[in-house]
Chain A
Amino acid sequence: MTPFSRILRTDWFGPLIIVILAVVVIRAFSPQFLSPLNIQVLLLAIAVNALIAYAQMMIIAIGQMNLSVGAIGGLAAISFAGMMEVWGIPAPLAAALALLIGLLCGFVNGVMIAVTGISAFVITLATLAIYKGINLGITEAQPFYGIPANVKAFGNGSLFNLIPLIALPTLVAAVGLWFLLFRLPAGRFILAVGGNEHAAQLSGIKVGRTITLAHAISGFLAAGAGILVVARVQVGQPSIGDDWLILSFAAPVIGGAILTGGHVSVAATTLGVVIVALITQALVLFNIDPFLVQVVMGGLILVAVGINRLRETRMQALKRSV
Chain B
Amino acid sequence: MDVTPIFEAKNIVKTFPGVRALKGVSLSLLPGSVHALLGENGAGKSTLIKVITGVHRQTSGQLLLNGEEVSFGSTHDAVAKGIGVVHQERNLIPRFSVAENIHLEQLANSWLRPVNYTALNQSARRWLEELNLDIDPAMPVSDLSVAQMQLVEIAKALSLQSRVLLLDEPTASLTSSEAANLFTILRRLRDNGASLVFVSHKLEEVVEICDRVTVLRDGDNATESRPMAGLGRQDLVQMMIGRAESGGTWRKRDSAAQPVVLQLKDLATSVGHKDISMNVRKGEIVGLYGLVGAGRSELAKAIMGRFRVTSGTVEVAGQTARITSVADAIHKYRLGYVSEDRKTEGLILPHSVLANAGVPIWRKLSGFLGGLRDSTVRRAVSPYLEKLEVKTPSLAQTVGNLSGGNQQKISVAKWLAAGVQLLIVDEPSVGIDIKTKAYLHDLLRELADSGTSVIVISSDMPEIIALADRIVVMNDYRIQGEVANIGTYDTMSQAIMGLIHRDPHRAQVA
Contacts and interface: CB of A to CB of B under 8 A. Distances in A.
B439 interface: no
Contacts of B90: 199
Interface in A184-223: 184-186, 188-189, 191-192, 195-196, 198-206
> Which DSSP category, helix, strand, loop or mixed, fits chain A's interface?
helix
A262 B95 contact: yes
Contact of B95 (A185, A191, A198, A320): A191
A178 to B, nearest CB: 12
13 contacts: A184-B111, A185-B111, A188-B115, A191-B95, A195-B93, A195-B94, A196-B92, A196-B93, A203-B105, A204-B105, A204-B109, A205-B104, A320-B476
Contacts of A204: 75-76, 79, 104-105, 108-109
A183 B79 CA distance: 25
A199 B91 contact: yes
Interface of B: 75-76, 79, 87, 89-96, 100, 104-105, 107-115, 143, 272, 476-477
Contacts of A319: 143
A192 B96 contact: yes
B107 A185 contact: yes
Contacts, number: 72
Contact of B96 (A191, A198, A206): A191
Contacts of B108: 185, 189, 203-206
Contact of A186 (B89, B92, B95, B111): B111
A205 B94 CA distance: 16
A183 B93 contact: no
Interface of A: 179, 183-186, 188-189, 191-192, 195-196, 198-206, 262-263, 317, 319-320
Contacts of B93: 191-192, 195-196, 199-200, 262
B111 A189 contact: yes
A192 B92 CA distance: 9
Most buried by A among B87, B95, B143: B95
B110 A185 contact: yes
B251 to A, nearest CB: 38
A317 B96 CA distance: 20
B49 to A, nearest CB: 13
Given A203-B105, A204-B108, A195 B91 contact: no
B115 A195 contact: no
B92 A185 contact: no
Nearest to A318: B143
Contacts of A195: 93-96
Given A191-B95, A195-B94, A204-B79, A183 B114 contact: yes
A192 B143 CA distance: 17
A185 B96 contact: no
A281 B443 CA distance: 69
B115 A183 contact: yes
The 6 A-B residue pairs with the shortest CB-CB distance in the complex, in nearest-first order: A199-B91, A204-B108, A195-B93, A203-B104, A186-B111, A204-B76
B95 A184 contact: no
A70 B79 CA distance: 43
Contacts of B76: 204
Contact of B115 (A184, A196, A202): A184
A201 B104 CA distance: 10
